[in-house]
């Protein structure tokens, strides 16, 4: 994304405290028009606080926050008209039907379903066969689609989604991201938060956030490119023993379980781990595999945390 | 406006789709009125009465016969002095004494009018009231059918006196009291719970982020409960009028206006509670302990205020229900107009404004 | 994991019906002692129903289910004594301290006071939580809570521990600390039965079963499943099965 594009979201030195706890500790970023921006980090990193400030639901304790070049404190009414927001728990009325929910949200934004049907067609069409079903009886994936339709019904310029994929199965998650990418193509600026590192790759740019601070902001490719160290995947038939044994090798820097493999970094990148197989064999390991691999976002996140 | 109607419609959906809400809204008021109503029975049969006939002429004898022949009453004692009246009541056998004044018939002929005193034992206030009403209507019947029909335009004035409980405390108290309780429950508790539910479910976040302003949100939440409370109030009044024969002496429209005012007060209180609660549980607890219990115990509904310790009397002075009960009692039983109960009305108006101001001040356009 | 280890869970032709709806359609699988077994499926695939049967909370409609050597029809109480359970939502009392939580769960399983006390001391040392033993759970970070919850779930030395989406939402390092605890438990012979719909969590398991519409559609090691479905990762495997 070039800097010449209009900034839809601009955050400078944002801090947010709740009584003694500082949840957001000085965060700056900007999001351009039409960008799909991801806020990636675990629970408690400050994602929801940031989003609630952006959506004008909370005041920043410190810092400048502008949405569409408007001030979130003074101009909150205008901002709210152009904002689509999906809070963490899909906020639907459980006792209303699919259609009634959508109609209600259309009404309060002063519009009708027909008026903006084009925008939500792709998404809503998938749940329309169940339009008389109560929201409470929908599956997680269907709730997610309905909540997204409701957030889009007034054709917002900015869409803010707080952990939309939490608690939803893999199929629905994948479909959801496909929908987001189609919305982005329609020119909507999208901010999405997620604790799942693998979703970072689907964003144009991501901010990795931990303990109220942004550790890195860039395109996923560049973040991975900045890993800057050799990374190895190691496997043997006894994972537990392998972790203990690798940790006792003093040329090895970090050892992390990573699915079937362990990801390790070594203290000197000149080290090609040629001795390691011998060492592990000596410790009684079988089925040993060692290969150099490219880091993923999760590796980068852990590297940045240390 | 369309936004607003959409909002109110949604609120009605919530109410009509939740069986528990429906039960509280409609089942409870009816059940409560019926329970209170039937605990204090309205049937009278073979009530033992005494007659103190100071005149002993034809007309007094005829009236006495009429009364005993009605089937409701049994003449148990002929009394001969005021002292005997008191003794008879104290023995607890008779519930009512009818006293004819001296020279009853002569007075009727000469002056055109004479009076009968009906003294009832009002320690059971409800029975006393019914007994006295029956007696009165028998006397009126006699006057119309026996005297007027024969061209004698005499006026017999029954004077009812309640012994032991002359202001009839307790009698018909259950209607104004239940009304206050139910309206408080439906308006304040249900409103606060329904607002708290939006916070709990996270839908409040989306509402706040929408262009809908806080005032329409609040009014939209409140209107359905206002309508339902009002229907409830009418149901209660109708039940007490038709089933329990409670009179409405005063102006019916005035009664409804005062009821609406009280509903308004309760709704603003409900909104205030909701600003202080983030979950339905909290709203429920505050409503229960800050509203329901004091309304039941301190408003004079169950326990007479003047028998309370001073401290509780002071607390009862800030119970809105106390004033509403006084208002309803006055309108329904005594037929009072605004000139009698303006003070109570002003107090409730003041409370309403106070709660409204407080909740507008505390209601947030944001989450913190 | 030892290929020759005994079966700790044996399920044969398990069927569970609700009216006409078949929630579990002839499930058959075994889990070995010390294995980390991933039990995956989309929302509504029938996972929860199966877990309830395996943990003795509900009866199957038909089929044989044997848990830790006990029959779920006849020896429900013994089944319950030999399993532990941890879910993300309910596991610890927020308003009790670390120590009080441990004490409480120990008490539920009828362990002696002396045993609870000794084991609590060694547990606090192992978790390096001695300093915080008297803090309320509500004041601790999520990652610590999860570790405590897991320790509590295996406090009574169950043969099997059921984990329901154990690592959702925690940071990547804490998550790996947690998986190391699971590896350790498995190393000590505890069978770990993990249900999740996050596929990356599945990659940590020794073997994985994937359910779709009441049936098990895939059952093998993550590596073998990826080969079988010609997929890069478990996510793709899952998508191929569920779509």
Instruction: Give percent of chain C with pLDDT exceeding 90.
Output: 41
* Distance of residue A213 Cα from the nearest chain B Cα, in angstroms: 22
One domain, residues B189 and B299:
yes
- Nearest CA to CA, how far is A71 from chain C (Å)? 32
Structure tokens at A124: 């809503």
Q: Which residues on neighbouring strands pair with residue A213, listed in sequence order?
A: A210
What subunits touch chain A, counting only 3 or more CB pairs under 8 A?
Answer: B, C
Which residues of chain A have a CB within 8 Å of the CB of B19? none
User: What does the pLDDT read at residue B126?
Assistant: 67
User: Where exactly are the structural domains of chain A?
Assistant: 7-225, 231-305
pLDDT of res. B124 = 66
A289-A290-A292-A295 Cα dihedral, nearest 10 degrees: 70
Split into its structural domains, chain B has a count of: 2
For chains B and C, tell me whether 3 or more CB atom pairs sit within 8 A of each other.
no
Average of pLDDT values for B262-276?
Answer: 90
Query: Can you give the pLDDT at residue B212?
Result: 76
C4 contacts: CB under 8 Å, gap ≥ 6: none
CB pairs under 8 A between A and B: 83
B252 shares its domain with B157: no
**Are A257 and C176 in contact (CB < 8 Å)?**
yes
CB contact under 8 A, B13 and A87: no
**Bridge partner list, A290:** A234
Using one digit for the tens of pLDDT, what is the confidence trace for C3-14?
A: 567 899 999 999
B192 shares a domain with B124: no
Domain count, chain C: 1
Residue-level pLDDT at B81:
85
Torsion of CA A225, A231, A237, A242, to 10 degrees: -130
The confidence band for A5, taking pLDDT boundaries of 50, 70 and 90, is: low
- More confident position, B250 or B174: B250
pLDDT digits (tens, 9 = 90+) for C40-89: 887 778 888 898 889 888 889 999 999 999 998 888 888 888 998 887 66
Rounded to an integer, what distance in angstroms lies between the CA atom of residue B167 and that of residue B175? Answer: 16
Give A3's pLDDT tier (boundaries 50, 70, 90): very low
CA-nearest residue to A92 within chain B is B203
Asked whether residue B218 falls in the same domain as residue B124, the answer is no
What CA–CA distance (Å, rounded) separates C84 from C181?
Answer: 15
C191-196 and C160-164 strand pairing: parallel
Distance CA C140, CA A24 (A): 18
- DSSP letters of C18-43? ETTEEEEEEEEEEEETT-EEEEEE-T
Q: Is the pLDDT of residue B42 over 60?
A: no
Instruction: Tell me the average pLDDT across A272-300.
Output: 88
Instruction: Tell me the CATH number at B127.
Output: 3.40.1710.10
Q: Which of B280, B189, B224, B201 is nearest to B6 (CA)?
A: B224
Residues in chain C: 243
Assign residue B71 a region (left: φ > 0; alpha: ψ between -120 and 50; beta: otherwise).
Answer: left
| Residue B368: closest C-alpha in chain A | A58
Q: pLDDT tens digit string along A40-56?
A: 999 889 999 999 999 99
% of chain A residues with pLDDT over 90: 57
At A191, phi and psi to the nearest 5? -115, 130
Same domain, yes or no, for B306 and B200? Answer: yes
CB-nearest to A170 from C173, C204, C235 is: C235
What pLDDT band is residue B365 in, cutting at 50, 70 and 90?
low
pLDDT band at B278 (very low <50, low <70, confident <90, very high): confident
As a CATH number, domain A231-305 is 3.30.70
Residue whose pair of structure tokens reads 């009828």 in the numeric block: C110
Contacts of residue A105 in chain B, CB cutoff 8 Å? 206, 210
Are A150 and A90 within 8 A, CB to CB?
no
Nearest Cβ partner for C238 among A170, A195, A305: A170
Tell me which residue of B216, B213, B210, B221 sits closest to A111, measured CA to CA: B210
List the single range of A79-83, A134-138, B185-189, C158-162 with lowest mean pLDDT: B185-189
Q: Do A42 and C174 touch (CB under 8 A)?
A: yes
Residues of A in contact with B194 (CB under 8 A): none
E strand spans, chain C: 7-18, 21-32, 36-41, 62-67, 70-71, 83-87, 160-164, 191-196, 207-212, 215-220
pLDDT digits (tens, 9 = 90+) for A99-122: 999 999 998 888 888 988 888 988
pLDDT higher than 90, residue C191: yes
Q: Do B207 and A108 lie within an 8 Å CB cutoff?
A: yes
pLDDT score of B4 more than 70: yes
Q: Is A95–B367 a contact, with Cβ atoms under 8 angstroms apart?
A: no
Closest residue of chain A to C206, computed from CA coordinates: A260
Tell me if A192 sits within 8 A of A161, measured CB to CB.
yes
Q: How far is CA C10 from the centre of its chain?
A: 16
* Interchain CB distance below 8 Å, A171 and C204: no
Given B117, B142, B163, which residue is the final one in a domain? B163
DSSP string, C109-125: TT--HHHHHHHHHHHHH
Q: For chain C, give the percent of residues with pLDDT over 70.
A: 97
Using an 8 Å CB-CB cutoff, list residues of chain B that contact chain A.
2-3, 5-7, 9-10, 13-14, 17-18, 201-212, 365-368
Of C199, C138, C137, residue with least CA distance to C167: C199
- What distance in Å separates the CA atoms of residue A79 and residue A69, rounded to the nearest whole number? 10
B268 touches B355 (CB < 8 A)? yes
In the predicted model, what is the mean pLDDT of residues A21-35?
A: 93
Confidence label for B43 from pLDDT (cuts 50, 70 and 90): low
pLDDT in tens, A238-261: 888 999 999 998 888 999 998 889
B316 and B249, same structural domain? Answer: yes
Neighbours of B318 (CB within 10 A): 12
Same domain, residue pair B199 and B315: yes
pLDDT in tens, B188-245: 888 899 888 888 888 888 888 877 777 788 888 888 999 988 998 898 888 888 877 7
pLDDT of residue A1: 41
Angstrom distance (rounded) from CA C224 to CA C203: 11
Residues of A in Cβ contact (< 8 Å) with B366: 56-59
Residues of chain A contacting residue B212, judged by C-beta atoms under 8 Å apart: 108
Among B359, B349, B292, residue whose Cα is nearest residue B324: B349
ipTM value for the complex: 0.82
> Cβ–Cβ of B209/A150 closer than 8 Å?
no
Q: How far is B363 from chain A (nearest CA, A)?
A: 13
Q: How far apart are CA C211 and CA C47, in angstroms?
A: 7
Q: Which residue of A has its CA nearest to C226?
A: A260
Of A41, A49, A94, A46, give the one whose Cα is nearest residue A200.
A41
Domain termination site, one of B139, B163, B187 = B163
Q: Which residue of A has its CA nearest to B210?
A: A80
Instruction: Please check whether residue C206 is in contact with residue C35, taking contact to mean a CB–CB distance below 8 angstroms.
Output: yes
> Closest Cα of chain A to C45: distance in Å?
10
- The shortest C-alpha distance from C36 to chain A (Å) reads 11
Does A110 contact B211 at a Cβ distance shorter than 8 Å?
yes
Instruction: Choose among A20, A8, A86: nearest CA to A48.
Output: A86
Pairing of strands C70-71, A231-235: unpaired
Q: Would the pLDDT of B111 be above 50?
A: yes
Span of A196-210, B13-27, B68-82, B121-135 with lowest mean pLDDT: B121-135
Q: Which chains touch C (3 or more CB pairs under 8 A)?
A: A
CB contacts, 8 Å: B204 with chain A: 91
Cα nearest neighbour of A163 on chain C: C169
- Quote the pLDDT of residue C91: 74
CB A166 within 8 A of CB A197: no
Mean pLDDT score across all residues of chain B: 83
H-type alpha helices, A1-139: 47-54, 76-81, 98-108, 117-127
CA distances from A40 to A111, A145, C113 (A): 33, 21, 45
Nearest-angstrom CA–CA distance, A161 and B353:
40
A110 and chain B in contact, CB less than 8 A: yes
Residue C188 forms part of a structural domain? no
Of C172, C183, C242, Cβ closest to residue A301: C172
Q: Judge if B30 and B74 occupy the same domain.
A: no
Tell whether A78 lies on the interface with B, counting CB pairs under 8 A: no
Looking at the domain assignment, is residue C231 inside a domain?
no
Average pLDDT over residues B308-320: 85
Query: What secondary structure letter does DSSP report for A128?
Result: G
Contact yes or no for B2 and A85 at CB 8 A: no
Q: Is A135 left (phi over 0), alpha (psi -120 to 50) or beta?
A: alpha
pLDDT (mean) for B117-125:
77
Local structure of A27: helix, strand or coil: strand
| B26 & B88 share domain | no
DSSP designation for B26: I
Which chain C residues are within 8 Å of A170, Cβ to Cβ? 42, 197-199, 235, 238-239, 242
Contact residues for A64 (Cβ-Cβ < 8 A; gap 6+):
A10, A11, A12, A13, A14
Average pLDDT of the residues of chain C: 88
**Burial class, A82, CB count within 10 angstroms (exposed 0-12 / middle 13-18 / buried 19+):** middle
Six token digits for residue B241 = 């009028």
Between CA A59 and CA A39 the distance in angstroms is 19
The secondary element (H helix, E strand) that includes residue A206 is strand A205-210
Mean pLDDT throughout A78-93? Answer: 88
Decide if C140 is inside a domain. yes
Kindly report, residue by residue over A56-73, the tens digit of the pLDDT. Answer: 999 999 999 999 999 988
Helical residues (DSSP H) of chain A, grouped into ranges: 47-54, 76-81, 98-108, 117-127, 140-152, 170-185, 220-225, 239-247, 276-282, 297-305
Nearest to C197 among A170, A256, A302 (CB): A170
Contacts 24+ apart (CB under 8 A), A97-101: A97/A131, A97/A132, A97/A133, A97/A134, A97/A135, A98/A127, A98/A128, A98/A130, A98/A131, A98/A132, A98/A133, A98/A135, A98/A138, A98/A146, A99/A131, A99/A132, A100/B10, A100/B13, A101/A135, A101/A146, A101/A150
Q: Is residue A29 scored above 70 in pLDDT?
A: yes
Cβ distance C42 to A170 less than 8 Å, yes or no, reads yes
Q: For residue C103, give its domain range.
A: 92-157
Distance in Å, alpha carbon of A199 to nearest chain B alpha carbon: 25
Mark residue B103 as left, alpha or beta (left: phi above 0; alpha: psi -120 to 50; beta: remaining): left
Distance from CA of A138 to the nearest CA of C (A): 11
Mean pLDDT for A166-184 is 88
Chain B contact present for A88, CB below 8 A: yes
Q: In this structure, is residue B180 part of a structural domain?
A: yes
Is the CB of A91 less than 8 angstroms away from the CB of B212?
A: no
Looking at the fold, whether B243 and B297 belong to one and the same domain comes out as yes
Check whether residue B147 and residue B203 sit in a common domain: no
C-alpha distance from B353 to closest chain A C-alpha (Å): 27
- What's the whole-model pTM score? 0.77
If we measure between CA atoms, which residue out of C187, C195, C114 comes closest to residue C154?
C187
Rounded to an integer, what is the distance from CA C158 to the centroid of its chain? Answer: 11
Best of A21, A41, A42 to substitute, by most chain C Cβ atoms within 10 angstroms, is A42
CA distance A264 to B5: 62
Distance CA C50, CA B221 (A): 43
- Residue-wise DSSP of B220-277: HHHHHHHHHHHHHHHHHHHHHHHTS-----S-HHHHHHHHHHHHHHHHHHHHHHHHH-
Structural domain boundaries, residue B157: 47-163
Mean pLDDT of A197-205: 92
Contacts of A257 in chain C (CB under 8 A): 176, 179-180, 183, 204
Q: Which residues of A touch B202 (CB under 8 A)?
A: 87-91
Residues of chain A contacting C, Cβ within 8 Å:
41-45, 139-141, 166-172, 174, 195-198, 210, 237-241, 243, 256-260, 298, 301-302, 305-306
Contact B175, B328 (CB under 8 A): yes
Residues in chain A, how many?
306
Contact C83, C68 (CB under 8 A): yes
Nearest CA in chain C to A21: C139
pLDDT higher than threshold 80 for residue C243: no
The answer to whether position C101 is within a domain reads: yes
Gap between the Cα atoms of C5 and C168, Å rounded: 30
- Report how far residue B98's alpha carbon sits from residue B93's, in angstroms, rounded to the nearest whole number: 15
Chosen CATH of A7-225 out of 3.10.450.50, 3.40.50.300, 3.40.1350.10, 3.30.70.1450: 3.40.50.300
| Same domain? B26 vs B64 | no
Q: Which of B163, B196, B222 is the last residue of a domain?
A: B163
Instruction: Please tell me which residue of chain A has the smallest CA distance to B5.
Output: A107
> Which residues from chain B sit within 8 angstroms of residue A109, using beta carbons?
3, 210-211
């Amino acid at each position: 994304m070039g800097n010449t594009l209009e900034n839809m979201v601009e955050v400078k030195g944002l801090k947010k405290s709740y009584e003694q706890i500082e949840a957001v500790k000085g965060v700056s970023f900007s999001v351009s028009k039409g960008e799909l921006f991801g806020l990636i980090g675990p629970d408690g990193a400050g994602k929801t606080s940031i989003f609630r400030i952006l959506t004008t639901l909370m005041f920043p304790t410190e810092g400048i926050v502008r949405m569409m070049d408007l001030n979130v404190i003074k101009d909150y009414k205008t901002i709210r008209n152009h904002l689509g927001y999906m809070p963490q728990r899909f906020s639907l009325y459980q006792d209303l039907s699919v259609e009634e929910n959508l109609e209600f949200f259309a009404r309060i934004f002063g519009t009708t379903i027909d008026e903006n049907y084009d925008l939500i067609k792709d998404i809503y069409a998938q749940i329309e066969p169940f339009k008389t079903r109560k929201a409470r009886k929908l599956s997680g994936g269907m709730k997610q689609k309905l909540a997204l339709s409701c957030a889009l019904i007034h054709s917002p310029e900015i869409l803010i989604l707080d952990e939309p994929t939490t608690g939803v199965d893999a199929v629905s998650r994948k479909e959801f991201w496909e929908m987001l990418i189609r919305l982005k193509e329609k020119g909507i600026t999208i901010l999405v938060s997620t604790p799942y590192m693998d979703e970072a790759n689907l964003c144009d740019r991501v901010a990795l956030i931990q303990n109220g601070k942004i550790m890195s902001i860039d395109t996923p490719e560049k973040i991975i490119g900045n890993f800057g160290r050799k990374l190895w995947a190691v496997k043997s038939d006894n994972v537990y023993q392998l972790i203990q044994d690798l940790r006792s090798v003093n040329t090895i820097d970090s050892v992390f379980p990573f699915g079937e493999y362990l990801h390790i970094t070594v203290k000197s990148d000149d080290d090609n781990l040629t001795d390691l197989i011998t060492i592990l064999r000596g410790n009684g390991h079988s089925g040993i595999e060692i290969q150099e691999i490219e880091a993923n976002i999760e590796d980068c996140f852990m590297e940045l945390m240390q | 406006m369309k936004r607003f109607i959409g909002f109110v419609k949604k609120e009605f959906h919530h109410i009509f789709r939740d069986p528990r809400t429906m039960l509280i809204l409609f089942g409870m008021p009816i059940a409560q009125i019926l329970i209170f109503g039937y605990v204090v029975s309205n049937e009278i049969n073979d009530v033992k009465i005494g007659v103190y006939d100071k005149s002993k002429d034809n007309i007094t004898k005829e009236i006495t016969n009429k009364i005993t022949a009605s089937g409701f009453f049994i003449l148990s004692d002929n009394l001969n002095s005021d002292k005997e009246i008191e003794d008879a009541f104290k023995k607890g056998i008779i519930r009512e004494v009818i006293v004819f004044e001296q020279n009853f018939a002569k007075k009727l002929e000469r002056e055109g009018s004479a009076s009968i005193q009906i003294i009832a034992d009002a320690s059971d206030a409800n029975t006393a009231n019914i007994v006295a009403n029956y007696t009165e209507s028998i006397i009126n019947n006699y006057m119309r059918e026996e005297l007027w029909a024969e061209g004698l335009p005499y006026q017999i004035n029954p004077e009812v006196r309640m012994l032991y409980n002359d202001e009839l405390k307790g009698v018909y108290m259950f209607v104004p009291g239940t009304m206050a309780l139910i309206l408080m429950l439906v308006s304040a508790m249900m409103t606060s719970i329904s607002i708290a539910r939006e916070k709990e479910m996270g839908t409040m976040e989306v509402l706040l982020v929408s262009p809908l302003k806080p005032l329409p949100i609040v009014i939209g939440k409140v209107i359905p409960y206002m309508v339902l409370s009002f229907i409830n109030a009418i149901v209660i009044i109708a039940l007490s009028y038709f089933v329990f024969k409670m009179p409405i002496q005063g102006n019916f429209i005035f009664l409804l206006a005062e009821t609406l005012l009280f509903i308004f007060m309760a709704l603003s209180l409900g909104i205030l509670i909701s600003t202080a609660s983030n979950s339905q549980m909290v709203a429920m607890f505050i409503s229960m302990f800050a509203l329901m219990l004091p309304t039941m115990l301190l408003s004079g509904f169950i326990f007479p205020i003047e028998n309370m310790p001073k401290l509780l009397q002071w607390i009862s002075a800030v119970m809105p229900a106390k004033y509403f009960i006084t208002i309803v009692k006055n309108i329904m039983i005594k037929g009072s107009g605004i000139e009698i109960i303006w003070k109570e009305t002003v107090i409730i108006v003041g409370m309403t404004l106070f709660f409204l101001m407080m909740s507008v001040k505390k209601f947030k356009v944001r989450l913190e | 994991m030892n290929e020759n280890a005994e079966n700790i869970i044996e399920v044969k032709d398990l069927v569970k019906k609700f009216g006409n709806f078949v929630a579990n359609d002839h499930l058959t699988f075994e889990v070995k002692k010390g294995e980390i077994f991933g039990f995956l499926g989309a929302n509504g695939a029938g996972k929860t129903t199966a877990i309830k049967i395996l943990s003795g909370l509900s009866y199957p409609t038909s089929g044989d289910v044997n848990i830790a050597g006990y029959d779920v029809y006849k020896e429900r109480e013994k089944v319950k004594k030999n399993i532990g359970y941890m879910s993300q939502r309910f596991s610890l009392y927020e308003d009790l301290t670390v120590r009080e939580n441990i004490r409480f769960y120990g008490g539920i399983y009828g362990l002696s006071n002396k045993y609870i006390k000794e084991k609590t001391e060694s547990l606090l040392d192992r978790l390096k939580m001695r300093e915080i033993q008297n803090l309320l759970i509500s004041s601790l970070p999520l990652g610590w809570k999860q570790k405590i919850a897991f320790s509590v779930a295996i406090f009574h030395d169950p043969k099997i521990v059921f984990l329901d989406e154990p690592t959702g939402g925690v940071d990547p390092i804490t998550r790996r600390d947690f998986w190391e605890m699971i590896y350790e438990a498995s190393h000590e012979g505890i069978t770990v039965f993990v249900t999740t719909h996050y596929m990356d969590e599945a990659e940590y398991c020794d073997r994985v079963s994937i359910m779709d519409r009441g049936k098990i559609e895939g059952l093998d090691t993550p590596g073998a499943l990826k080969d079988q479905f010609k997929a890069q990762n478990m996510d793709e495997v899952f998508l191929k099965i569920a779509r």
